[in-house]
């Protein structure tokens, strides 16, 4: 997963830049732990009442 902030970048330009980045050999990927944290943050922000859902889920695990 790669975080690319959106500041009016055209998708075609972004695609070309990503292809160049992949071909460059630079280690551009986020560490697995950071990827998981970003996904969790995204889910929390995307789901209504995520705090209550997460709390209930964790309580059921115990």
How many CA atoms, within 13 angstroms, populate the side-chain half-sphere of residue 10? Answer: 3
- Separation of alpha carbons 51 and 36, rounded Å: 17
What predicted TM-score, i.e. pTM, was given to this entire model? Answer: 0.57
Average pLDDT of adjacent 10-residue blocks, the chain of 62 residues: 58 76 86 95 95 94 85
The CA dihedral of 20, 21, 24, 29, to the nearest 10 degrees, is -160
């Amino acid at each position: 997963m790669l975080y690319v902030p959106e500041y009016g970048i055209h998708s075609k330009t972004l695609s070309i830049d990503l292809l160049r980045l992949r071909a460059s050999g630079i280690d551009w990927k986020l560490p697995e732990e950071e990827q998981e944290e970003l996904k969790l943050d995204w889910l929390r922000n995307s789901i209504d009442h995520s705090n209550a859902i997460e709390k209930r889920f964790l309580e059921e695990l115990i």
